[in-house]
Amino acid sequence: MNLNQTYQSLKRGLRIIEVIATIGSSATLAEIARKTNLPRSTAHHLLRALVEFGYLVQDGDARTYTLAPKLFQLTGRTWSREQLAEIAMPFLDDLSHRTGEGTSLAVLRDGVVTVIAKREPLGPVRVVQEVGARRPIYCTAVGKALAAWLPEAELESIIRRTSFERMTANTITSRTDFHRELTRIRASGFAVDDEEHIKGIRCIATPVRDHSGEVRASLCVVGPKNHLPRRRQAEIREALAVVASNLSSRLGHKSAGGEVQMPEGVRASTGSCVLLKINKQKGGNRRKKA
């Protein structure tokens, strides 16, 4: 390959990266070829090279390409909510399959906990979740899992603005109790909402880290309390730990667990506890406020 060919290949490869970054989510070969005005065969050859060198990640089932953690490590950028939600979907689907319960991913921005992705389980009884739902930081599993690893100054700033309103008989209502709870969470690696936010609903969450080692999100399993009895907590925590580690690896976090294990079956839907949906039979759906 002469110097001009090398230049053209480099130019086209960088253009592909720019196109995927502009799309802001995964892109297919057809989209990339169209937006770069490259023949499909040329685009495919360049994509294979970018995947091989760790700049792109290919989803083999969906045949799409996304920016790899390596680029974020080099630039210091982080993922948008939309990018993070899309990356997380197959992992939420995997976690729901492992536990038989609903799953969700939440982030903390400007002191506000927001659900950005969800997966609802199949079954007659489920907790219906909403993407975009905001959750209290002090009485939800996703909120507490995010709070536990905040820098001290940021945590104290949020606590000063938190009213600690009582939601149920189990709600934490004081700063002292909240600090004690966060200490327990750091020690165990898991946060539990035992009917603290909504009566009748339990959630267990754990943090998700990115290439910098910082906590970027919290991953949660949620269900009616009779679906998540205390005897199932070890099972749920084990599934959470595996999937959170895999998702963290996908975001570039280097852990002792080794390489990411991409889950099988990547199709999932794209929130936190809002309604308890009970499907008795076909045509007989009934919704109960949770």
Q: What CATH class has 3-75? A: mainly alpha
> What six digits make up the tokens of 162?
């938190």
CATH (residue range 81-289): 3.30.450.40
Contacts (Cβ under 8 Å, ≥6 apart) of 43: 16, 29, 32, 33, 36
Q: What is the 3-state secondary structure (H, E, C) of 99-118?
A: HCCEEEEEEEECCEEEEEEE
* Domain-wise residue ranges, the chain: 3-75, 81-289
Dihedral sign of CA atoms 42, 46, 49, 54 in order: negative
Per-residue pLDDT of the chain in tens (290 residues, 90 and over written 9): 677 788 889 999 999 998 888 876 788 999 999 999 999 999 999 999 999 998 898 887 668 898 888 887 777 667 888 889 988 999 999 999 999 999 999 999 988 999 999 998 877 666 777 898 999 999 999 999 999 999 999 999 999 999 999 999 999 999 999 999 999 999 999 999 999 999 999 999 999 999 888 999 999 999 999 899 989 999 999 999 999 999 998 888 876 544 444 444 322 222 333 334 333 333 344 333 33
